[in-house]
Amino acid sequence: MSPIEAAQSSSPQGSPQGTAQDGSLYVGHTSNLPRRLIQHNDPSGKGYTPKRGPWYLIYHEPHPDRSSAMKRELFLKSCAGAAEKRRLADILSGV
């Protein structure tokens, strides 16, 4: 099972907002959600997520294999999928 993950950052005050502090959402795929969330929140890590945390898992969807998870991730990161990703974040954050 390879789930797709969507994570959000909290505001500087600590209340979840539905978007990261810089106005973006993170989407990715992983075979181990708990481990991946720990990696996103590790301030010594490199890349996009350590600088914008803390991150909270707000959504995941299971996929039967890595290939289908990667296709879904690519769609959500595309221009066509961006609107769907934003709608999903709004629904989950109660907007």
Q: Which residues contact 41 (CB under 8 A, 6 or more apart)?
A: 49, 50, 53, 54, 55
Contact predicate 6/82, CB 8 Å: no
Query: Phi first, then psi: what are they for 84, rounded to 5°?
Result: -65, -40
Q: Between 82 and 4, whose confidence is greater?
A: 82
pLDDT-based confidence at residue 69 (cuts at 50, 70, 90): confident
Instruction: Please report the pLDDT score of residue 15 as a whole number.
Output: 38
In whole angstroms, what is the distance from residue 56 CA to residue 37 CA?
Answer: 7
Distances (CA, A) of 69 to 31, 38, 39, 72, 78: 10, 20, 19, 5, 14
pLDDT, one tens digit per residue, over 8-20 is 555 444 434 434 5
Residue type, 12: P
CATH number of the domain within which 25 lies: 3.40.1440
Domain that holds residue 26: 4-93
Domain count, the chain: 1
Q: Which residues contact 45 (CB under 8 A, 6 or more apart)?
A: 39
Query: Phi first, then psi: what are they for 83, rounded to 5°?
Result: -65, -40
Instruction: Please report the pLDDT score of residue 3 as a whole number.
Output: 58
pLDDT, one tens digit per residue, over 1-56 is 555 555 655 544 443 443 455 556 778 888 888 888 888 888 888 887 777 777 77
